[in-house]
Chain A
């Protein structure tokens, strides 16, 4: 494809260049200011970073489909990945609605209410553990053990082998970028991880009554097929672990950096859910997502050819001055918070209410017992094709009443 076909600004940024991954703010600003959409020569993708345009494209799945893959790889051009495409995330109508319905039903508010006590008990244990440490790592000592306990329990996964979960999710989200060195490093044991996850999602491997079993019930009722059900269960495990672990880490970072917000939520815990949305806006874990044009499409006067990848910079949209007053200010009172950290449209994160409950319960317990969070050493950014977070975030938790 040549750029003659696109009458929009052209840039030579490589979004996966290490310098841009480390600090994408200049890249984002340039793309936002250039116009609604631009072309990235070399990577050959259309890119958008404005809130208005990311929102509009997410809301038009007929033109900007997901069956071409939600990562950089173009499944419409016959490219393949190490994994079978996600039946949930990487599908369009008419295949998508019944699958979405089966998963949404498994994650319903009624199902979530039953889990609250289990999540609270684990949050209490986890907060006791970090308070016993002089310095704790928000990733390894807080986020990872909390999420890897409660979410797979809710899915109905057995305890054995759970050390494979985060490496598997890490691999899946890295595969949303190009097949670069970062991807290859995470894909060294792809075959073993994939075999383990497949085996773990089998119907007889899951506890009755969990999210996974509820999806198999939809299969037994004939709403989804025998081929679809296990892949939808797998989607829970690939999409629901890393993303929330990083959400916990990023929220911890924000509350350590802006202690006045922590004081406010401690004084009024009803602010916690709103504050957590602001952490997702401020430091968006999933930087970007892709769509693929189903046919040639005219977008705001620019003709985009059929089967073109379109890169949606959610993290940029979440700091767009056209959409936010003082976008770099951490303001927990923004309401409604129209951040795009969970995507949007028919493919918007189906597990967001689970994620929000997981974080709400953990940070409620933390706010109750922790006077303040303080940085306690150098934070190490995670080098990742899709995530924006820290692989290591040393913090000190100062207990209340000391």
Chain B
């Protein structure tokens, strides 16, 4: 499955992943964009912040309470479509997902 990350300066980067993998997981394996994932995916650091492209936002399940809480702690300001990419798990229907990166984590 393919995921496209678009940096704040417009540079795009395509990632490949399998169902069940998180976007943070596949991005940090190859050092894509500015996704840090400092807590390793346990929703505790807000350093894998992404903004979901409006065309895709309705297709993702809503954030959990914990993710919602951590989204208040992002480095760059939270936006309506902000998510933590460790909580975006690839599944059927998400192939081609487009995510935007914040200016900084």
Contact = CB atoms under 8 A, between A and B. Distances in A.
Interface of A: 97, 100-101, 104-105, 108-109, 273, 277, 335-339, 342, 344-346, 348-350, 352-353, 356
A348 B40 contact: no
11 contacts: A104-B69, A105-B72, A335-B28, A336-B39, A336-B41, A338-B41, A342-B39, A342-B42, A346-B66, A348-B44, A350-B44
A109 B75 contact: yes
Contacts of A109: 46, 73-75
Residue picked from B38, B43, B75, most chain A C-beta under 10 Å: B38
Contact of A349 (B25, B41, B44): B44
Given A104-B72, A109-B46, A353-B45, A336 B38 contact: yes
Interface residues of B, number: 21
A295 B11 CA distance: 51
A336 B37 contact: yes
Given A97-B65, A342-B39, A345-B42, 17 more contacts: A101-B69, A101-B72, A104-B72, A105-B72, A336-B25, A336-B28, A336-B39, A338-B40, A342-B42, A342-B44, A348-B39, A348-B42, A348-B43, A352-B39, A352-B44, A353-B44, A353-B45
Contacts of A339: 40
Residue picked from B41, B44, B46, most chain A C-beta under 10 Å: B44
A336 B46 contact: no
Contacts of B39: 336, 342, 348, 352
Nearest to B105: A109
Summarize B's interface: helix, strand, loop or mixed.
loop
B24 interface: yes
Nearest to A101: B69
Interface in B5-48: 24-25, 28, 37-46
Given A109-B46, A109-B75, A352-B44, A97 B28 contact: no
Contacts of B37: 335-336
A111 B46 CA distance: 15
Contacts of A353: 44-45, 73
Interface of B: 24-25, 28, 37-46, 65-66, 69-70, 72-75
Contacts of A108: 72-73
B69 A337 contact: no
A327 B76 CA distance: 35
A162 to B, nearest CB: 28
B42 A344 contact: yes
Contacts of A352: 39, 44-45
A400 B41 CA distance: 37
Residue picked from A273, A277, A344, most chain B C-beta under 10 Å: A344
A277 B41 CA distance: 14
Contacts of A356: 38
Nearest to B35: A336
Contacts of A344: 42, 44
A108 B74 CA distance: 9
Contacts of B70: 104
Residue picked from B72, B73, B74, most chain A C-beta under 10 Å: B73
Nearest to B86: A336
A238 B22 CA distance: 34
Contacts of A101: 69, 72
Contacts of B45: 352-353
A301 to B, nearest CB: 22
A124 to B, nearest CB: 25
Nearest to A349: B44
A266 to B, nearest CB: 21
A346 B66 CA distance: 6
A4 B60 CA distance: 45
A335 B63 CA distance: 24
A104 B73 contact: yes
B28 to A, nearest CB: 5
Contacts of B65: 97, 346
